[in-house]
Amino acid sequence: MPYLFLSLAACFWGGNYVVGHLLVAHADPIILSAARWLLTALLLMALYFNQVKQQWAAMRNAKGTIFFLALCGQVLFPVTLYIGLQYTSSLNAAIYLSTTPALVLLINKFIFKENISSRNIYGVVLSSLGVVYLILQGDLLHLDTLKNLNRGDIWTMGSAISWALYCAFLRIKPREIGGNAFVAISAVIGAIILLPILAFRTFEQSHLDPSIYLHPGFLAGLAYLIIFPSWLSYLLWNKGILAIGATRGEIYSHLIPLSGGVFSILFLQVPLHSFHLVSALLITLGIALCSGKNRAVREATKSTCSSD
């Protein structure tokens, strides 16, 4: 059963790429992100208000840390992702996210001064080669293919970096702050940060058609983002990690880019090219090397998934 919980959580997060890609084709990514986190904040605070109240003193003492993590995880990550999905495929975006464990290793090495084994170094190199191969569309000898790199790829790379920062710096979150309360207050902070941006964006787009955001299709997609990636994924992931431990459970995070890519091909008719397969293989092998003895990533995952 815990394996099913972990698999479902990863697949729900992977589905975020497909649903997000569909929604930003008609909706503004800033408005989408703000609506997602505002409604998620209301839902989670209704569920976990008592836990937030009990841990409020610890949260006040760590307000700088919580603000930074919310900025990376609840604001920069989804906003850059949804902006990028306007211009690049969800398959590419999912593959970029799969470099996050390697990025976490680099952050741990140069910021937290951790020793990195040769196995992890090889994994970083191999994973990075997979990203380069994807960007060059399988043509490593002709750098002029870089001209095909569009701003959507840059934005989605930014989302991967934002998520890597979030995962790496989770280690500084005080342990007395439980997972449920932490996710709830992070959603609130994210919503508050996005509110003035939302107001400016709405004022800037005076021609905005509100009917788009009242369309049943948009509301259904938004409901998916709130219920599944923003809530149930965390709930199921916590249950799975508590049952089998972060060391064994962490490998299931690799299902996120994989499921995102599979859903893109199945539901968005994204064409599958050989360079996608080679790139995904290189990145997967690199992550497998990094995951073998990567205590830092396991601790970051454990911190993310800690439950009250």
Within a domain: 161: yes
Does some domain include residue 304?
no
Is the pLDDT at 249 greater than 80, yes or no? Answer: no
In this structure, of 48-62, 86-100, 176-190, the range with the lowest mean pLDDT score is 86-100
> CA–CA distance from 208 to each of 22, 79, 202, 213 (Å)?
18, 19, 7, 10
- Of 128-132, 148-152, 239-243, 249-253, the poorest mean pLDDT is in 249-253
Give the ranges where the chain is alpha helix by DSSP (H).
2-23, 29-54, 56-61, 63-70, 77-84, 90-97, 100-110, 118-135, 151-169, 179-204, 216-227, 233-244, 246-249, 255-267, 274-292, 295-305
CA distance 139 to 141: 6
- Please give the pLDDT value at position 142: 63
**Is the residue at 307 inside a domain?**
no
Query: Which residue, among 226, 164, 209, has the nearest Cα to 34 in the 3D structure?
Result: 226
pLDDT value of position 247? 43
* pLDDT for 121: 80
Structural domain includes residue 189: yes
pLDDT at 295: 47
Least confident of 67-71, 201-205, 210-214, 249-253: 249-253
Q: Would the pLDDT of 84 be above 50?
A: yes
Query: DSSP code of 85?
Result: T
| Any domain includes 302 | no
Question: Which carries the bigger pLDDT value, residue 137 or residue 161?
Answer: 161
User: How do residues 99-115 score in pLDDT, each as one tens digit?
Assistant: 887 888 888 889 988 88
For residues 120 and 209, give the distance between their C-alpha atoms in angstroms, rounded to a whole number.
Answer: 50
Average pLDDT in the 125-141 region? 78
172, pLDDT greater than 90: no
Instruction: Please give the residue that has the higher pLDDT: either 42 or 173.
Output: 42
Show Cβ contacts of residue 24 under 8 Å, excluding neighbours closer than 6 positions: 32, 82, 83, 85, 86
Average pLDDT (1-17) is: 87
Q: What is the pLDDT of residue 99?
A: 81
pLDDT score at 291: 59
124, 282 contact by CB (below 8 A): no
Q: Is residue 297 part of a domain?
A: no
Q: What angle do helix axes 100-110 and 151-169 make, rounded to 10 degrees? A: 50
Name the residue among 66, 71, 76 with its Cα closest to residue 178. 66
**Residue 38 corresponds to which amino acid?**
L
300 domain-assigned: no
The pLDDT of residue 144 is 63
Q: Which domain holds residue 211?
A: 1-292
∠ CA 105-159-78, nearest 5°, is: 130
- CA separation for the pair 216, 21 (Å, rounded): 17
23-32, 50-59, 133-142, 223-232: the lowest-pLDDT one? 133-142
Residue 256 lies in a domain: yes
Closest C-alpha to 171, from 289, 63, 301, 36:
301
Overall domain count for the chain: 1
